[in-house]
């Protein structure tokens, strides 16, 4: 394939322009580069702003599992697929149990604790507990992240005032493919929550999933949405679909791992200063694919043997891989200000 985009290696320290006006074609052209050129350029950009031998470790906990009213076709937690997934709904966890689990995660080496709830949006009656969780985890000296669905202005402000460092809300895919995946809330509603979080001064964590049967232009479209936001998300999780039995995506063919690596590389080039997280799907990924992801600019992973409802590699397995690659976990670095432009 002839690559329309040329990689210029004459000045290795050439800083990329921080852009918010990407066209789909430009992004498709990046995806179409020869693999080695693409990964080389992503690693070059990565080195300008990140330590290439360090990876940030975030750990997840599901503080409220299952019974969700949304119909996201990839998700084990939607009530719509309960009959086939068999996943039972739980109540919101007690605050102290969450803080105790965060302490264990910290002892295991994680620096950020990401608390997820299977909600369309938080109920006001749950907010006191949510705030106490943020405060309790922050008191441990960890960075905090929450993903609770859509937020209104008041909830956003309460989270900001409690000192929440990051709010995760994914766009999931391109605007065009989105309606094939979720019908119960719109793409625009997701963007509205991201805008609220950003305006309140919290760090935005937003990314999506690949391997959901989307076209290459949808992967480009997803990255276009993220990079063309007024500020790049501080953190961009790229998830490989975990094909959960009992969900409509159970039998989807796995995406070629090189296409996954390309997605990480293009995200890195388009959002040079953001953290790009190699997120769900590592359990099914070879060590070599993960190493390529780090080479392509992934600067963070989910650590710990559980994601929300599915398995993640065990800590010692990850540390063995880190040792083989000479990678070190990054130190805690709670950002007081949003760093991405
Ligand atoms: N309910 C909240 C929401 O949807 O915003 C928060 C939790 S939700 C599980 C967070 C994100 O996890 C989703 O937006 C999706 O990107 C990712 N996710 C969920 N199930 C997944 C799966 N099976 N494979 C890969 N990523 C998944
Ligand atoms: C994100 O982008 N990925 C995480 C986190 N944000 C909340 C969730 C992955 C979930 C994978 C499927 C599961 O364990 O249920
Ligand atoms: Fe609910 Fe979030 Fe799962 Fe969608 S992704 S069904 S909103 S828990």
Structure tokens at 301: 């992973």
Q: What is the pLDDT of residues 14-36, one digit of tens each?
A: 888 999 999 999 999 999 999 99
Tell me the C-alpha distance between 139 and 116, whole Å.
19
Tell me the C-alpha distance between 272 and 50, whole Å.
9
pLDDT band at 4; cut points 50, 70, 90: low
pLDDT band at 199; cut points 50, 70, 90: very high
Catalytically active residues, by annotation: 68, 72, 75, 114, 145, 205, 277
* Average pLDDT for 313-332: 95
Going by their DSSP bridges, the two strands 166-168 and 235-240 should be labelled as: unpaired
Tell me the C-alpha distance between 311 and 284, whole Å.
10
Helices (H) then strands (E): counts for the chain: 12, 10
Q: Among the atoms of ligand 2, which is closest to the Cα of residue 76?
A: 15
Tell me the C-alpha distance between 168 and 280, whole Å.
14
pLDDT band at 302; cut points 50, 70, 90: very high
Tell me the C-alpha distance between 19 and 228, whole Å.
7
Q: What is the pLDDT of residues 31-58, one digit of tens each?
A: 999 999 999 999 999 999 999 999 999 9
Q: Would you say the pTM of this structure is higher than 0.75?
A: yes
Q: What is the pLDDT of residues 104-119, one digit of tens each?
A: 999 999 999 999 999 9
Tell me the C-alpha distance between 157 and 191, whole Å.
17
Residue with tokens 């063309």: 228
Structure tokens at 130: 């949510």
Residue 131 confidence (pLDDT): 98
pLDDT at 69 over 80: yes
pLDDT at 6 over 90: no
Residue 333 confidence (pLDDT): 61
Residue 334 confidence (pLDDT): 45
What does residue 312 show for φ and ψ, rounded to 5 degrees?
-130, 160
CA of 182 to the centre of ligand 3 (A): 9
Q: What is the pLDDT of residues 257-284, one digit of tens each?
A: 999 999 999 999 999 999 999 999 999 9
Kindly state the percentage of the chain with pLDDT values over 70. Answer: 96
Nearest to 267 by CA among 30, 23, 4: 30
Atom 2, ligand 3: which residue's CA is nearest?
118
CA of 75 to the centre of ligand 3 (A): 6
Cβ contacts of 287-290, under 8 Å, gap ≥ 24: 287/321, 287/324, 289/257, 289/260, 289/261, 290/321
DSSP 246-295: TSTTTTPPPPPHHHHHHHHHHHHHHSTTSEEEE-TTGGGS-HHHHHHHHH
Ligand 1 contacts (CB < 6 A) are 74-75, 116, 118-119, 147, 149, 169-170, 172, 208-209, 239, 241-242, 244, 280, 308
Q: What is the pLDDT of residues 166-187, one digit of tens each?
A: 999 999 999 999 999 999 999 9
Residue with tokens 């000296």: 141
CA of 242 to the centre of ligand 2 (A): 9
């Amino acid at each position: 394939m002839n690559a329309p985009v040329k990689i210029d290696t004459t000045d290795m320290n050439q800083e990329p322009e921080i852009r918010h006006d990407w066209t789909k074609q430009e992004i498709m052209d990046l995806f179409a580069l020869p693999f080695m050129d693409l990964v080389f350029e992503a690693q070059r950009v990565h080195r300008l702003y990140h330590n290439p031998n360090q990876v940030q470790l975030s750990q997840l906990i599901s503080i409220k599992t299952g019974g969700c009213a949304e119909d996201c076709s990839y998700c084990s937690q939607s009530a719509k697929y309960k009959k086939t997934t068999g996943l039972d709904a739980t109540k919101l966890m007690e605050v102290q149990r969450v803080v105790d689990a965060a302490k264990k995660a910290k002892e295991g080496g994680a620096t950020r604790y990401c608390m997820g709830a299977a909600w369309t949006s938080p109920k006001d009656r749950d907010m006191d507990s949510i705030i106490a969780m943020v405060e309790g985890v922050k008191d441990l000296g960890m960075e905090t992240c929450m993903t609770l669905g859509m937020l209104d202005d008041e909830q956003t402000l309460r989270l900001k005032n409690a000192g929440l460092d990051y709010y995760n809300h994914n766009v999931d895919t391109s605007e065009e493919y989105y309606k094939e995946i979720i019908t119960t809330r719109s793409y625009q509603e997701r963007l509205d929550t991201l805008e609220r979080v950003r305006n309140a001064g919290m760090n935005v964590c937003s990314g999506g999933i690949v391997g959901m049967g989307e076209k290459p232009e949808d992967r480009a479209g997803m990255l276009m949405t993220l990079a063309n936001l007024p500020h790049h998300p501080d953190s961009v999780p790229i998830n490989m679909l975990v094909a959960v039995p009992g969900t409509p995506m159970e039998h989807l063919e796995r995406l070629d791992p090189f296409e996954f690596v390309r997605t990480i590389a293009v995200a890195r080039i388009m959002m040079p200063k953001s953290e790009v997280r190699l997120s769900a799907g590592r359990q099914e990924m070879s060590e070599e694919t993960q190493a390529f992801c780090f080479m392509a600019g992934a600067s963070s992973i989910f650590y710990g043997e559980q994601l929300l409802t599915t398995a993640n590699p065990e800590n010692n397995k990850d540390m063995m891989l880190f040792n083989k690659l000479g990678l070190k976990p990054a130190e805690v670095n709670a950002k007081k200000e949003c760093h991405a432009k």
